[in-house]
């Protein structure tokens, strides 16, 4: 990921992209507090699904494992830093 990506949630405002979880889904968090997490999917339209902190942590861990298999990268370093700071 070269730059930060944001979405606007109708109720919670700006959401910050943490990581892609699949081709059509991604994990986002509220921008300022990073306490609320959402799985955002886009098939026909954006769909915001709230997820628990534990579900978000597990999704992040899966992405970290996949990136470790591929080898060191900026994305891996960014996700490890996010994990250390917020979980």
For the chain, what is the domain count?
1
Across 30-54, average pLDDT: 92
- Rounded to whole angstroms, the Cα distance separating 3 from 21 reads 17
The kind and range of the H/E element at 14 are strand 13-20
Q: Is residue 21 part of a domain?
A: yes
Residue 30: the pLDDT is 94
In this structure, is residue 75 part of a structural domain?
Answer: yes
With pLDDT > 90 as the criterion, what percentage of the chain qualifies? 79
Could you tell me if residue 20 is inside a domain?
Answer: yes
Q: What is the pLDDT of residue 33?
A: 79
Evaluate whether residue 12 is within a structural domain. Answer: yes
39: containing domain: 6-86
Of the candidates 31, 39, 83, the one whose C-alpha atom is nearest the C-alpha of residue 60 is 83
Indicate the SS3 state at residue 72: coil
pLDDT at residue number 4: 81
Rounded CA-CA distance 51/9 in Å is: 14
The pLDDT of residue 1: 45
At 56, which CATH number? 2.30.30.660
Question: Could you tell me if 15 and 30 are in contact, meaning their C-beta atoms sit under 8 angstroms apart?
Answer: yes
In a domain, 31, yes or no: yes
- pTM of the predicted model over 0.85: yes
What mean pLDDT do residues 49-63 have? 96
Asked whether residue 1 is assigned to any structural domain, the reply reads no
């Amino acid at each position: 990921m070269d730059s930060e990506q944001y979405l606007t949630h109708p109720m919670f405002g700006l959401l910050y992209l943490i990581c892609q979880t699949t081709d059509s889904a991604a994990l986002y968090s509220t921008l300022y507090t990073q306490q609320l997490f959402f799985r955002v999917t886009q098939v026909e339209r954006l769909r915001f699904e709230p997820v628990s902190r534990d579900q978000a942590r597990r999704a992040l861990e899966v992405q970290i494992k996949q990136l470790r298999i591929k080898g060191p990268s900026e994305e891996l370093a960014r996700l490890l830093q996010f994990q250390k700071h917020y979980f």
